[in-house]
Amino acid sequence: MSRNKPTGEVATKGVSLHDRLIVFDGLIVSSWSRSVFDDMGRGGLTAANCTCSVWEGFQATMTNIAQWKKWFQEHGDRILQVYTVDDISRSKREGKTGIILGFQNTSAFEDNLGYIGRMRLLRDTRWGPFRLGPRGCG
């Protein structure tokens, strides 16, 4: 099925509006690669919460974060790690996609609350659902 693409003034206004907006995706789980980062940029994504831990424990999550650090270096022309709102604005100015590393759940902390502090010291993750039980029930 093909989509009708807007033309003329409608298309111009749409592009202009999109260029001015901060476009944020609150949750992306993907098989990360350069082509995914390129697609994010082509789609005009300003920033996104990108999952670095689905069900992994602490050690596997640390391995995933180390991989992300490598990607930030290798693909620095496309992606930028976000720590603050100013970083999101910076990603927009620089034409990059800002990446906030986040969790799908709290399995990365295992049963050790001390891991939360260690993650915080690393300044690498900012987003994760906090809950009491494995199904999010209190």
- Encode pLDDT of 49-79 as tens digits: 999 999 999 999 999 999 999 999 999 999 9
pTM of the predicted protein model: 0.77
- Encode pLDDT of 79-105 as tens digits: 999 999 999 999 999 999 999 998 888
Q: Which of 93, 69, 92, 89 is nearest to 81 (CA)?
A: 69
Specify the DSSP class assigned to residue 127: B
SS3 for 110? coil
Q: What is the mean pLDDT of the chain?
A: 83
Q: Which of 51, 43, 39 is nearest to 100 (CA)?
A: 51
> Distance (Å, rounded) from C-alpha 19 to C-alpha 48?
17
SS3 for 50? strand
- Encode pLDDT of 110-137 as tens digits: 888 888 877 776 665 554 554 444 554 4
Do 25 and 3 meet the contact criterion of CB atoms below 8 Å apart?
A: no
Specify the DSSP class assigned to residue 4: P
**Which positions ≥6 away from 99 have C-beta within 8 Å?**
47, 48, 50, 68, 72, 79, 80, 81, 82
